[in-house]
Every structure is written in C-alpha cells, then in structure tokens.
Structure 1
C-alpha cells in the first residue's frame, strides 16, 4: 500500500531506465567516442599550444579552451541522445508501443530529457578529468559552472527532441548537427574570445545563442568572460524555457509520433 503513490510515476522511471540503458549498452559509441575526440582536442591545444600562446590575460591557451571543450561535449551528447533515440523510435515504428502505454506527455519529455542530461554531463565530467593532465582550472564559481552545464544539457536535450520530430530521414537529422549545431559551437567562442574580433563580427557573435552558454560557463570556471555571468545565464535560461515549451507543445499534440 505504501507504493501506491509512486505508481503513476512508474512509466516515467521505466522509460528513463530504458533510455539510460540504451546509451550505456553502446557506451563505446555514445560515451567513449566523444571522450576520445575531446582528448585529441586537449592534446592538440593543451600539449602543443597550451603554454605557447595566451588569448586571455592570466591564463594559458589550454586553460582558456578547456571549459569550451567540456561544454561542447555536454551539448553534443545531450542533443545526440534525444535526437537519435526519438528519431530511431519513429523510424522503426517502436514509438507506437510507447504511445499506448500510460506515459503522460510530461513523463515522456522529462524521461528523454533526464537521460540526455545524464549522458551529456557524464561526458563533460570525464572530459574535465582528462583535462587535469594538461592544465589546472581555478573553478572560481563551481556551483555556477555546474548550473550552466546543467542548463546547457537541458536546453540541447529539448533541441534534440524537436529535431527528431521534424526530421523525416537520417539526412535531415544530420543536417541539424552539421549545419546548425557544429557551426554555432565553433563560432560561439570555444577556441577564441569574442572580444578579440573586429567590432562587426563581435556584435554578430552576440546573436549566436551558443555564445552565452560557452561564455557563461567559462566565466564561472575562470572568473572572467566577455559578458556578465548573470546575463549569460538569463539568456540561456530563456532559450531553454522557449525550447522546452516548443518540445512540450509538439509532444502534447503527438506531432509526427503516430505515423
């Protein structure tokens, strides 16, 4: 009798467990591959350029670039988890089995989201641990850094859900990664500070939503950034709220989930 209050959430826990087990079952692809990629970046920018150049006073290049690489891993993997999982369920038709279960739209979206956040933050954590071999980070505001990384994983979990529902085939799904996500990441200040750009390009970079996530996370870690942390966090939170509302609206309507 004591378990009855938790029964309505049983579908949520079951779906969350399924999603976590799904990416852990192929951890060599979903976790190890992005970690190896991040390690190569760290070797190139840490071992070869780390102490030779500096783009931020008081920090070497490795210290500057590591926060961006950590957040890049969080973003890419949170997006990939929801996008690939939901799209494959649609593509294979197994989404129909899920829709006839007593899973509510809120349970549906939060189960997919939380699993994606776990994967993204796990990759980010391991990337940081590997970065310790190349350069130490001061972690000036650790709680703010965790909050920004969590917000980034949540935001791109929603984006992954939206992409999976709009994609009609594998090519259109990969378009979101190759022509939207990666350009925004690379032009968002992962490898250079926006402040060193000419005024026109610096102003244009402020239209890049990834700039606020990356700069906010770097600001929390290093204590310096191109914009105030609260501004970066507020803009990122508004974007996350907007994408969550969009994803919830589509899932609530069953948009392209029933064939």
Structure 2
C-alpha cells in the first residue's frame, strides 16, 4: 500500500522525476534509433535547399541587409529544418501511439499532464538542438559561418523546438489518422515555415504582407536565429524571444488541457 504522505505529496504537485526522465529518454532514443532519417536526412535536405538557391539566384542576387544572400539564407534554412523536425518528433510519436493502440502505456503510469507534456517536449527540443548543431558545423566548415551570438542562437533553437514541439503534440492529440496529421502539416506547418522570411527579408514585402508576417511566431524564430548566427535581423531579438515564449506558453497550456481532460485520448 502506498504511503499516505506520498499520496499527499503527489496530490500537491510533487514531480515524478524518474517518470519524466524515462519519458524524455524514450522520446530521445526513439529518434536516435533511426538517426539516418531523423538527423542525417534533414542535413541533406538543408544542404540541397542551400545549393539550389545558390545555383539558381545566388550569384545574381545582391546583398540582403548588408550580407551575401547565401549567408542570409543559411540561418533561415537551419531554423526551418529545426522546427519541422521538432514538430514531426512529437506529432508522429503521439499519432503512432494512438493508431497502434499503445497510448495507454503513456497514460497509465503515474505521470501528471504537465509531466507528459514536458517529456514529449524534451524529445522535440533534443532533436531540434541536435539538428541545429549538425547543420551549424556544416555551415562552419563549408561556408565559414560561425555564430556571432551563440547564446542567442541557442535560445532561439530551444524556443523553436519547444514551440513546434508543443504544436506537434497538440496536432498529434487532435489527429486520429495519418491523413489528418498530413493535412495539418501541409496546410499549417509548411506555410508557417515558408512564409516567414526564410528566403527573403520581410522589408521587401508590401506593407500588408509585412504586418501579417509579424503576426507569425515562426518569423521571430527565423529572424532571431539569423541575428544569433550572422548578427542581422528584421526585428529586435528580444521582442522575438518574448513573442515566441508567449506563443509556446499558450500552445503548451492548450495541449496541457487536452492531456488533462483526455481529449481524443481516452475512449
């Protein structure tokens, strides 16, 4: 029989550190087990994006914000890769568990909704940080791009992993089938990533589109990482941190509520 004191501590919010660590470890090892798909493939994709744009328009493109176009483009491609993979890590884990019927293995252990949320986010953030590290090494070797503000760059990579990891978990809970998950990815995540200043400066946009872009949290992720990597940005990195932190909190809170109520998780 469980000690009543332990039950009281649990009821008043004591953290199940072992359970949280185990879930985070599971989510991390899950993508490391297939690292050629989850780490190497994004590196190749990022390299192909950079190569295609460099060959197609790089030589004839004037400097953007005072830096060569390739140097301007590189941080945007890095963040786009990070957020897509952080989203994929949490969303695929949740959808696969629901489709295969083993979501009960996550819901039955003594884990609070917040601990489940943080465990999944840990995997998404770890995947995002690892991919960013691998790509940054490649950029340093091939393009001689070294982070100008490493701590700011790392902060935005972590924020990107957390924001899109939370959004991925939200989408994974909401979706009951793979085609629903694909629809969310194609019609929400991909447009957010591509229409956020990845390949261009938002100052070149018409006023209306410029204002709309500033409502997109992904814009601040890309712009903040660009400042951390090459020292230029369209907006203040401190504003970007505030916007991305707030967006992460809002999406995380909604996802926590879904976990707490068992929305689309419990029959």
CA distance in 1, matches of 2:58, 2:139: 12
Matches within 5 A, 1:187-202: 187-202=195-210
Name the residue aligned to 1:150.
158
TM (normalized to structure 1)? 0.91
User: Aligned-pair distance for 1:107?
Assistant: 1.8
TM-score (structure 2 length as normaliser) = 0.89
1:108 aligns with 2:144: no
Other-structure match for 1:91: 99
Structure 1 position 74, deviation (Å): 1.1
Q: How many Å apart are 1:207 and its aligned residue?
A: 2.3
Q: Is the 8 A contact 1:45 1:61 kept in 2?
A: no
| Residues 5-48 of structure 1, C-alpha deviations (whole Å, 9 max, x = no match) | x9932222222222112111122222222111111112223466
1:220 aligns with 228
SS in 2 for 1:132: helix
1:176-227 Cα shifts (integer Å, max 9, x gaps): 1111111111110000000011222222222222111111221222222111
What is the distance in 1 between the residues matched to 2:233 and 2:53? 20
Alpha-carbon distance between aligned partners in 2 of 1:57 and 1:110, rounded to the nearest angstrom:
38
How far is the alpha carbon of 1:140 from its aligned partner? 2.6
Describe the SS at the equivalent of 1:69.
helix
Q: Runs in 1 of length 4+ with deviation above 6 angstroms?
A: none
Contact kept in structure 1, 2:98 and 2:176, CA below 8 Å: no
Which 10-residue stretch deviates more, 90-99 or 188-197?
Answer: 90-99
Q: What is aligned with 1:17?
A: 25
How many residues align? The count is 256
Match of 1:38 in 2: 46
Matched, 1:28 2:43: no
Contact 2:16 2:115 in 1 (8 A): no
Moved more, 136-145 or 78-87: 136-145
Say which of 166, 169, 173 aligns to 2:174: 166
Contact 1:67–1:221 (CA under 8 A) maintained in structure 2 = yes
1:51 Cα offset (Å): 4.9
Which residue, out of 237, 241, 251, partners 1:243?
251
CA distance in 2, matches of 1:112, 1:57: 37
Q: Which among 185, 188, 192 is matched to residue 193 of structure 2?
A: 185
**For residues 108 and 58 of structure 1, what CA distance do their matches in structure 2 show?**
45
CA distance in 1, matches of 2:256, 2:114: 7
What's 2:149 paired with? 141
In structure 1, C-alpha distance between the alignment counterparts of 2:84 and 2:132, rounded to whole Å = 10
- Tell me if the contact between 1:51 and 1:62 (Cα under 8 Å) persists in the aligned partners: no
Q: In the alignment, is the contact (CA less than 8 A) between 1:212 and 1:236 conserved in 2?
A: yes
Displacement of 1:128: 1.6
Aligned-pair distance for 1:164?
A: 0.4
SS at match of 2:143: coil
CA distance in 1, matches of 2:63, 2:212: 20
